[in-house]
């Protein structure tokens, strides 16, 4: 039996390796700058994020307080259309973003780009908040709601609208199809399940990735069978618990190595802005920092808007503001905590060691029992991330092939099968394949966002005039929600 499983795992790895190579060659097409190769798509995402942040007057800062008020239910209206509360939509989106990209992905970034990658991750996450607002607001604005109450929204709905503004709707439809296919492929979450297995194997000694994958898939299947409402119900309980648990764990590490924190921050800033190294071709910190931040926060990729589209609100900008919290938590806070924990611990990061193994070594510097604790958190992080991405994949699948219970069940069966075999992939193959699919999603999405910026500016101004300023004149919350 063991030899049979091993043969199947080898066959899967051999099949995926070439596919990952081809996907990366196209998606991460690079241009030579000095002695370095700079991916064009990475720079594109930075430019779009920076331009939109400036264009919207740093709404990522100005809108955070309002985002918190909305999330707390201050403007909630039970009569609004949608499937789940705005907090439920945020929790589901956080489930998809706050995963191993914030743990193992950060470790990978530091091992490749050094401490400077931490700074570029933070800046990318900060500017990406505005992009997140734009895509999530548009997802609500152009969503569709079926007769059964099932919501379908996301970039595949507003990409054709954006291109219709310049009379190129057929091209928009082609790009929406491209986005949907990429999302379905990316939703397999191979990196999440793979890294979860690596940590569980290190702690428990479990050697069969297929056995782990089958158990994991069954646990996911018990939730996704109930659709968005079931996923949101689990995520609203699991996400806050995991954030608190991870924060306390990392805080313990930072307290134990408090003396090293100032030096780490100084080194990170020095390496990030060492322009002599950058001019000489030292782009590693910048490139890997941006890539990991985009992976962790998913700003511009178009995935999270699919979850936000299901929120119970008739104000698209309202949900856009709520979405600001997402990259702020996942990248600006959690990724920095992870980076500080790893760098202050002083663990070695030799070539060939996986991301989660670096994080585990950092946790173990405080106490041996921290490694099992990380294993539990990693498994839960992967679990909730897979739940979120199952919804993204299902919604894009149904946009491509039509709604209906049979189609939804067909996707879920295929998705669970992919999860079962995901742990058999190597770290390199898993991360390269997922990166390629996720970043491919960003191309049509960011183009559509730029085309719809004038429309978004008008919507944002209207929202603040009708809702925020009106609320500041002490109008009762019930009247504001009904506005």
Q: Select from 4, 19, 398 the least CA-distant residue to 190.
A: 19
Contact predicate 145/314, CB 8 Å: no
- Model confidence pLDDT, tens digit, residues 249-274: 888 888 888 888 898 888 888 877 76
Tokens of 266: 């100084």
pLDDT per residue over 394-436, tens digit each? 999 999 998 888 899 999 998 898 888 777 766 556 567 777 7
pLDDT above 70: residue 152: yes
Q: Give the pair of three-digit tokens for residue 437.
A: 């699919």
Predicted local confidence at residue 120, as pLDDT: 82
The answer on pLDDT for 350 being more than 60 is no
Select the more confidently predicted residue: 282 or 438.
438
Tokens for 287?
């490139």
pLDDT band at 438 (very low <50, low <70, confident <90, very high): confident
Looking at residue 122, the DSSP 8-state letter turns out to be: H
Residue with tokens 């939730």: 223
Confirm if 264 and 254 have CB atoms less than 8 A apart. Answer: no
Q: Across residues 54-70, what is the average pLDDT?
A: 91
201-205, 314-318, 347-351, 372-376: which has the highest mean pLDDT? 314-318
Mean predicted confidence (pLDDT) in 336-360: 71
How large a percentage of the chain has pLDDT more than 90?
25
Q: Return the bridge partners of 144, or none.
A: 152
Residue 476: what pLDDT?
A: 46
For residue 128, the tally of other CB atoms under 10 A from its CB is 33
For residue 351, what are the contacts with CB-CB under 8 A and spacing of at least 6? 111
User: Rounded to whole angstroms, what are the CA distances from 171 to 71, 176, 351, 393?
Assistant: 36, 9, 43, 22
Residue 204 has pLDDT above 50, yes or no: yes
At residue 154, the pLDDT reads 92
Q: Residue 57, by phi and psi: left (phi above 0), alpha (psi -120 to 50) or beta?
A: left
Q: Does the pLDDT value for residue 287 go beyond 80?
A: no
Do 326 and 132 touch, CB atoms closer than 8 A? yes
| pLDDT (average), residues 148-152 | 85
| Most confident of the ranges 21-25, 29-33, 43-47, 170-174 | 170-174
pTM of the model: 0.84
3-state SS assignment for residue 164: helix
* Paired tokens of 370: 């921290």
Most confident of 238-247, 276-285, 312-321: 312-321
Measured CA to CA, the distance from residue 326 to residue 331 in angstroms comes to: 8
Locate all alpha helices (DSSP H) within 257-354, ordered by sequence. Answer: 261-272, 275-279, 284-297, 304-308, 316-323, 325-327, 336-345
Least confident of 75-84, 216-225, 373-382: 373-382
**Per-residue pLDDT tens for 86-126?**
888 888 888 777 766 677 677 777 777 777 878 888 888 89
Are residues 92 and 391 in contact, defined by beta-carbon separation less than 8 angstroms? yes
Closest CA to 306 of 96, 463, 67: 96
Place of tokens 């990406």: 128
- Cβ atoms 132, 302 nearer than 8 A: no
Tell me how far apart the alpha carbons of residues 139 and 308 are, in angstroms, rounded to a whole number: 7
38: left (phi over 0), alpha (psi -120 to 50) or beta: beta
Residues 92/307, Cβ–Cβ less than 8 Å: yes
What does the angle CA 183 – CA 336 – CA 73 come to, to the nearest 5 degrees?
Answer: 65
Cβ proximity of 250 and 338 under 8 Å: yes
Residue 37 has pLDDT above 50, yes or no: yes
The confidence score (pLDDT) of residue 423 equals 77
| CA neighbours closer than 13 Å in the CB half-sphere of residue 282 | 15
Token pair belonging to 286: 């910048």
Q: Tell me what pLDDT residue 349 has.
A: 62
User: SS3 of 15, please?
Assistant: helix
Residues with Cβ < 8 Å from 191, sequence gap 6 or more?
100, 101, 104, 427, 430, 431, 434
**With 0-12 CB in 10 A as exposed, 13-18 as middle and 19+ as buried, what is 314?**
middle
Q: What's the pLDDT at 56?
A: 93
Q: What is the pLDDT of residue 18?
A: 76
- In 3D space, the residue among 137, 206, 232 whose CA is nearest the CA of residue 379 turns out to be 206
Residue 197 has pLDDT above 60, yes or no: yes
Averaged confidence pLDDT in the chain: 80
Q: Are 86 and 71 in contact (CB under 8 A)?
A: yes
CA distances from 256 to 245, 265, 334, 362, 376 (A): 17, 16, 18, 11, 22
- Cα–Cα distance measured from residue 260 to residue 252, given in angstroms and rounded to the nearest whole number: 14
* SS3 per-residue string spanning 370-385: HHHHHHHHHHHHHHHH
Choice between 480 and 388, residue whose per-residue pLDDT is larger: 388
pLDDT (0 to 100) of residue 474: 44
CB atoms < 10 A from the CB of 454, how many?
Answer: 11
pLDDT tens for residues 1-20? 445 555 555 666 666 667 77
- Give the C-alpha separation, 179 to 303, whole Å: 10
User: Is the pLDDT confidence value at 364 over 90?
Assistant: no
The confidence score (pLDDT) of residue 468 equals: 63
Q: Which two tokens stand for residue 110?
A: 């530091």
DSSP state, residue 144: E
Q: What letter would DSSP give residue 33? A: E
pLDDT at residue 1, as a whole number: 46
Question: How far, in Å, are 17, 202, 247, 346 from residue 259 at the CA level?
Answer: 43, 30, 19, 12
The pLDDT, as a whole number, for residue 477 is 44
């Amino acid at each position: 039996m063991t030899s049979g499983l091993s043969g199947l795992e080898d066959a899967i790895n051999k099949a995926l390796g070439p596919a990952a190579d081809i996907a990366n060659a196209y998606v991460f097409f690079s241009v030579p700058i000095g002695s370095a190769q700079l991916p064009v798509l990475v720079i594109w995402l930075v430019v779009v994020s920076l331009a939109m942040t400036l264009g919207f007057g740093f709404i990522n800062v100005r809108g955070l307080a309002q985002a918190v008020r909305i999330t707390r239910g201050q403007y909630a209206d039970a009569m609004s259309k949608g499937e789940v509360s705005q907090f439920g939509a945020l929790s589901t989106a956080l489930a998809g973003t706050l995963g191993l990209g914030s743990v193992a992905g950060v470790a990978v970034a530091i091992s490749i780009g050094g401490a400077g990658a931490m700074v570029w991750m933070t800046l990318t996450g900060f500017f990406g908040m505005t992009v997140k607002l734009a895509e999530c607001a548009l997802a609500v604005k152009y969503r569709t709601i079926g007769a059964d109450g099932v919501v379908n929204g996301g970039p595949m709905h507003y990409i054709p609208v954006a291109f219709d503004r310049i009379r190129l709707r057929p091209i928009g439809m082609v790009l929406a199809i491209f986005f949907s296919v990429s999302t379905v492929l990316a939703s397999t979450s191979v990196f999440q399940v793979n890294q979860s297995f690596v940590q569980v194997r290190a702690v428990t000694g479990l050697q069969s990735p297929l056995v782990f994958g089958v158990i994991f898939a069954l646990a996911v299947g018990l939730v996704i069978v109930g659709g968005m409402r079931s996923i949101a119900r689990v995520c609203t309980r699991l996400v806050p618990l995991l954030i608190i648990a991870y924060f306390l764990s990392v805080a313990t590490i930072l307290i134990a190595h408090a003396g090293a924190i100032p030096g780490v921050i100084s080194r990170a800033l020095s390496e990030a802005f060492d322009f002599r190294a950058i001019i000489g071709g030292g782009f590693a910190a910048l490139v890997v920092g941006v890539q990991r931040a985009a992976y962790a926060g998913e700003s511009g990729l178009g995935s999270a808007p699919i979850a936000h589209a299901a929120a119970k609100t008739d104000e698209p900008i309202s949900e856009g503001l709520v979405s600001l919290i997402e990259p702020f938590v996942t990248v600006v806070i959690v990724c920095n905590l992870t980076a500080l924990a790893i760098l202050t611990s002083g663990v070695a990061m030799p070539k060939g060691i996986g991301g989660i193994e670096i994080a585990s070594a950092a946790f173990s510097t405080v106490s041996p029992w921290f490694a099992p604790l990380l294993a539990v958190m990693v498994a839960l992080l992967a679990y909730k991330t897979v739940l979120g991405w199952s919804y993204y994949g299902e919604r894009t699948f149904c946009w491509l092939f039509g709604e209906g219970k049979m189609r939804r069940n067909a996707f879920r069966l295929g998705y669970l099968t992919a999860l079962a075999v995901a742990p058999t992939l190597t770290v390199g193959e898993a991360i390269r394949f997922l990166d390629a699919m996720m970043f491919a999603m960003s191309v049509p999405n960011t183009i559509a966002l730029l085309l719809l910026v004038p429309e978004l500016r008008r919507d944002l101004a209207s929202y603040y005039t009708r809702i925020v300023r009106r609320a500041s004149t002490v109008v009762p919350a019930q009247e504001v929600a009904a506005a």
